[in-house]
Structure 1
């Protein structure tokens, strides 16, 4: 089981910036997002950005899939591609 998300974020911030003054928050934020991605997470908006639903609809996996398999593939595909449309 992956580490709790709070632990991943705390460790990323701790490892990113050792200064006591004038912390580099951008550096910390990049470290957090990289650590989350490495742990298998992706930061995505609650609602899909414009174009993502249409793109996903056009890229639905073909073949006979059980509903759970289709939903799993669609979810993964949309989350992996959210950055393409999040502008």
Structure 2
């Protein structure tokens, strides 16, 4: 959690050098960009049905250990979330 807070703080600091720091949209975009650059993604708590369907169609087939299946499913959903969530 400390890494996320630090990433957000640094992104806001870099986003707007004006005296009053009034461009909140620019700051918010900088936060999102900073989080993505640090390896994070912002995703909804409940995935949309279209993303679930996509993941079902794109997870690897065959025998996987449960941990491998979970990693593959998680990766597929997080990496493709921006395609299905606006």
Same fold by TM-score greater than 0.5 = yes
CA deviation profile, 1:21-48 (whole Å, cap 9, x unmatched): 2511111111111110011100000000
Q: How many pairs align?
A: 85
Q: Which runs of 5+ in 1 are unaligned?
A: none
Query: Which residue of structure 1 aligns with residue 40 of structure 2?
Result: 41
What's the C-alpha RMSD, in Å, of the aligned pairs? 1.3
**Aligned-residue offset at 1:59:** 1.1
Q: Which runs of 5+ in 2 are unaligned?
A: none
Query: Which residue of structure 1 aligns with residue 5 of structure 2?
Result: 6
Query: Which residue of structure 2 aligns with residue 61 of structure 1?
Result: 60
SS of equivalent residue, structure 2 residue 49: coil
Q: In the superposition, relative to structure 1, how do residues 8 and 22 fare at CA in structure 2: closer, same or farther (>3 Å)?
A: closer
- Give the alignment's TM-score, normalised by structure 1: 0.89
- Structure with the bigger percentage of helix: 2
Q: In the superposition, relative to structure 1, how do residues 49 and 41 fare at CA in structure 2: closer, same or farther (>3 Å)?
A: same
